[in-house]
Structure formats: C-alpha cells, structure tokens
Amino acid sequence: MRLILLGPPGAGKGTQALRLVEKHGIVQLSTGDMLRAAVAAGTPVGLRAKSIMERGELVPDEVVVAIIADRIDQPDAKRGFVLDGFPRTVPQAEALERLLGERGLALDGVIQLKVDERILLQRIENRIREMTARGEKLRADDNPEVLKGRLEAYRAQTAPLVDHYQAKGLLKAVDGMAAIDAVTAAINGILSPAARKPKARKPARRKAAGKPARAKAKKPARPRTQARRARAAKSVKSRRKAGRAGGAKSKRGQTKSRTQRRLTKRR
C-alpha cells in the first residue's frame, strides 16, 4: 500500500503514520525526520537544510525529491509506504508521480487530515509548554514564531495539493480534530477493502417507489453522410422500379405499397 498523509504541521500526520505502519506492515517515510537526521549527521544535505528548516521555510524541491527517490528503492519500502511531510509542493507531487510511474507503481490514496488552524496553533503552543515543563528537548523549529512561518508555507505551497489530488480522484478527507483513535478508525474505514471497491450501482429509486420509469431520452437523428444519402436514394429508385415491373395492382391500376397490400389483404 502506498499512501500520502496530507495536513498542516501539528495535524497529527506522524501519529497516524505510525499506526498505519503497524497495521499494514509498510514503512513511514518522513522527509522532516530524514532531514533532521541529515542535519544531525552534518551531511552536505543537512548543512544545506539546517538554516532553512530553522526559519520554517521549505527545503528546495530537488533536495527532498532526491532523498525520496533513493528511499523508495530501499528493500524495506517494497511492501509499501506512507509518506508524511512529502510531497509539500505541486512540483514535488509531479516528481513523485514520475518516480512511481517509472517503477510501474501507483498511489493508493492521499489522506487529508482536516484541522482548524487556530486550534492547531494552540495545540502546538500547549505541546511546547508541556515539553518545556518536563525538561524535554524541543525541535529547533518548535516555537510559536517559526510555527507561524510553517503554517504560512503550508497555506501557500502545500494546500494546493488538496485540489491536485482531488482532481486525480485520490483524495480522502478525515476530520483531524477528532480524538486520535477516532481519526485512526476513520482512516481504517477509508482503507478497508469494502470502501476501496468501486461503488455498486444504486437501485432504480423510481421503481422502488412504485413510479413508472422515466422515458429514455430519444437518440438524436444520425446526420446523413454522403454514403447513407446515396443508399437511401438507391433503395427508393429500386422500389419504384420494382413497382413498375409488375407489383400488386389496386383496383384503379395503381401500384400498391406494401402497407396498402397488408391493409387490404383478405383475412
């Protein structure tokens, strides 16, 4: 199974990704985690990404696309993956489509965690306060000022992905403001085999309600092509000829048409 979790920072993508990993035996690919690891290890990518991440801005597309391209080829990603934090821009989404297409793979769905941004800000501020009170280490970008920038980047660069995936028929939205278990249940419902089957055709409601079926729309007349016109003209001519050559005659000596013959035939 190959999925994307889409939603602003603090929407709960990481939490739900872990549950999907457990349930489906797939891997979580979080570009945020990978970049933080690169920063911690001091790799060239890490050095490039460090200050960008601290400002809450987005790392250049080609950097994250290269990381993902490499990661989806690892053996543990063969069974599937849940992307968390990627793609974050339309060009990243297009690059992902190319990467998957080249490997004969496709996405199974894009799950959007819908949240109220004002409450989100409070959620993260609370989390920061609680972690500080417990003496836990915060992420470099986990402060209210940077968070505003991250939300801004989401609105401007990532939110257009909702329309992008909607147009592809891949988007499935769940209420991210619900309790964690309720969000998980909603996602599982979306991914259950029954929900993924194409919808059965609805029974005709008019019939069930005892109403007569609606008349079918008449087919528009086929425009006469030259060939059809020629065929029609030929058949008129041949009918006339057949009449002259001794068709059934009426009392008045006129050639009877087939309809007339049928109507006047003795029973």
**Contact residues for ligand ADP, defined by CB under 6 A:** 9, 31-32, 35, 52-53, 56-59, 64, 85-86, 88, 92, 141, 150
Q: Is 224 one of the annotated active-site residues of the chain?
A: no
Q: Which residue, 98 or 196, is less far from ligand ADP as judged by CB?
A: 98
Among the listed residues 50, 150, 172, 256, the single catalytic one is 150
Q: Which residue, 26 or 86, is less far from ligand ADP as judged by CB?
A: 86
Q: Which residue, 32 or 176, is less far from ligand ADP as judged by CB?
A: 32
Tokens, residue 84: 């968390």
Q: Is 172 one of the annotated active-site residues of the chain?
A: no
Give me the least distance between CB of 32 and ligand ADP, in Å please: 2
Q: Which residue, 38 or 191, is less far from ligand ADP as judged by CB?
A: 38
Distances from the Cα of 101 to the Cα of 97, 104, 150, angstroms: 6, 5, 30
Give me the least distance between CB of 23 and ligand ADP, in Å please: 21
> What burial letters (b/e) apply to 196-224, b meaning 16+ CB within 10 Å?
eeeeeeeeeeeeeeeeeeeeeeeeeeeee
Q: Is 127 one of the annotated active-site residues of the chain?
A: yes
The β-bridge partners of 111 are: 5, 172
Count other Cβ atoms within 10 Å, centred on residue 123: 16
Q: Is 244 one of the annotated active-site residues of the chain?
A: no
Task: Let me know the angle formed at the C-alpha of 15 by 69 and 116, rounded to the nearest 5 degrees.
Answer: 100
Q: Which residue, 24 or 123, is less far from ligand ADP as judged by CB?
A: 123
Residue whose beta carbon is closest to ligand ADP: 32
Q: Is 261 one of the annotated active-site residues of the chain?
A: no
**One-letter amino acid of 1:** M
Give me the least distance between CB of 52 and ligand ADP, in Å please: 6
Count other Cβ atoms within 10 Å, centred on residue 237: 10
Among the listed residues 13, 36, 172, 256, the single catalytic one is 13
Among the listed residues 36, 50, 88, 256, the single catalytic one is 88
Distances from the Cα of 66 to the Cα of 60, 73, 153, angstroms: 10, 11, 21
Sign of CA dihedral 116, 119, 124, 127: negative
Give me the least distance between CB of 178 and ligand ADP, in Å please: 19
Active site amino acids: 13, 88, 127, 139, 150
